[in-house]
Amino acid sequence: MKIKSILITLICVFLLVGCAGNKTTQGENSTEMDAYPAESEEEGYPVTVVTPPDDDAYPVEEVDLGYKQGPEFHITIPLTISDQVVTGTGPAGVPILLVDVSEGGVILGTTVIGDDGVFSFALEEPLKINHMIGLQLGDIEGTEFEESDFLYSDTYYERPLIGILFDLVSVE
């Protein structure tokens, strides 16, 4: 019985000591704490005004990446799930690939753009709904073209693990 009363007394003492440490005290208000906004000539927390140079404006109007602007290619739209022919326009004589971007760049067909600037792909299977298809550069070996001619254009798309696409459209 004596041990129980000692334990209860110790627990009570620990609780009282622990609670007493959390007591908050309010000191006198100092003039420094009430001095907002600062009444002296000095400014408060560092406020620096950054003025951009007049020649650096947003948005940037011209971006020069050092690449020659590549030719434009266009797939004729709309494309539907029943289509088995994909047509479009581009520079004459360029070998191109039609790829299914939704399936990681699976090649659907190859062709060379005609002298009139028109191309046509005859597909073995109809296009799949909601798939994205695009044009890529084909095998240019033995032609007058260089790969560097097709690196950059405002109309090109770049997709990871697939590469540069000259045009990209969705199948409806």
Cα diameter, the chain: 109
Q: What are the two backbone dihedrals, phi and then psi, of residue 59, each rounded to the nearest 5 degrees?
A: -80, 155
Tokens 């073209």 found at? 145
Give the domain 74-170 fold.
Immunoglobulin-like (2.60.40)
Return the domain boundaries, the chain. 74-170
* DSSP state, residue 109: E
Helices of type H across the chain:
2-20
Q: Can you tell me the distance from the alpha carbon of 99 to that of 107, in angstroms, rounded to the nearest whole number? A: 4
Res 12: pLDDT: 77
**Residues composing the chain:** 172
Mean pLDDT, consecutive 10-residue segments, the chain of 172 residues?
80 73 54 53 63 61 69 93 93 95 93 96 92 94 88 87 92 92
